[in-house]
């Protein structure tokens, strides 16, 4: 007598189950996609604000370590922020290779004011560790913005407020 091995049924998905899962995934993507539309632009805004904070920390550190006055200037015409060091009566830019320049992405603007909202052209960092107080509004065309400020001469710049479109 010849024996045949019993056939083992392996669990598997039917075509109908696979189609239903694909349908649910498609609906979920269709619901979520519109909210992700501006996500990468928002990350550019946050990255620019964080790069600016990093530039101010570099300026403060360099001023204290070299015992020279340093200055951060926003240049809206060239879409960049520049770190400069005082050399006699003039200020010389620190090269981009030393992280002394931030390129501002298209669609993002940086406005510099004092704490009373009067326009400023630059912020100075002194060898004794003190800093000019100032406020920077990093904003996008859609109205979203991030505020970076130094509220006291002995403090560092930091992100204080982040807001969506108005």
Is position 3 within any domain?
no
Question: What's the confidence (pLDDT) of residue 110?
Answer: 87
Specify the pTM. Answer: 0.71
- Residue 33 forms part of a structural domain: no
Give the whole-angstrom CA distance, residue 78 versus residue 62.
24
Q: What is the pLDDT along the chain (166 residues), one digit of tens a residue?
A: 667 766 777 777 788 888 999 999 988 888 877 766 655 556 788 888 898 889 999 999 999 999 999 999 988 888 888 899 988 889 888 876 567 788 888 888 888 899 888 999 899 999 998 999 999 998 888 888 899 988 888 888 888 876 555 4
- Is 160 in a helix, a strand, or coil? strand
Residue located via tokens 């992700």: 36
**Residue 14 counted as domain residue:** no
Angstrom distance (rounded) from CA 16 to CA 153: 68
Q: How far apart are CA 160 and CA 151, in angstroms?
A: 10
Structural domain of 125: 39-163
| Nearest-angstrom CA–CA distance, 126 and 73 | 15
Question: At 111, which CATH number?
Answer: 3.55.40.10
Strands 90-93 and 145-150, by their bridges, are unpaired
């Amino acid at each position: 007598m010849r024996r045949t091995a019993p056939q083992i049924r392996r669990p598997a998905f039917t075509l109908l189950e696979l189609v239903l899962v694909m349908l649910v995934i498609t609906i979920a993507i269709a619901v979520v996609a519109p909210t992700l539309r501006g996500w990468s632009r928002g990350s550019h805004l946050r990255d620019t604000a964080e790069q600016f904070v990093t530039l101010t920390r570099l300026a403060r550190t360099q001023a204290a370590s070299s015992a020279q006055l340093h200055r951060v200037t926003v240049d809206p015409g060239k879409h960049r922020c520049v770190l400069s060091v005082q050399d006699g009566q003039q200020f010389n830019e620190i090269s981009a290779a030393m992280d002394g320049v931030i390129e501002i992405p298209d669609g993002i603007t940086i406005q510099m004011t004092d704490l009373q909202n009067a326009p400023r052209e630059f912020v100075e960092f002194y060898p004794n560790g003190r800093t000019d107080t100032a406020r920077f509004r990093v904003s996008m065309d859609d109205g979203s913005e991030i505020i970076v400020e130094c509220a006291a001469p002995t403090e560092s710049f930091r992100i204080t407020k982040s807001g969506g479109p108005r």
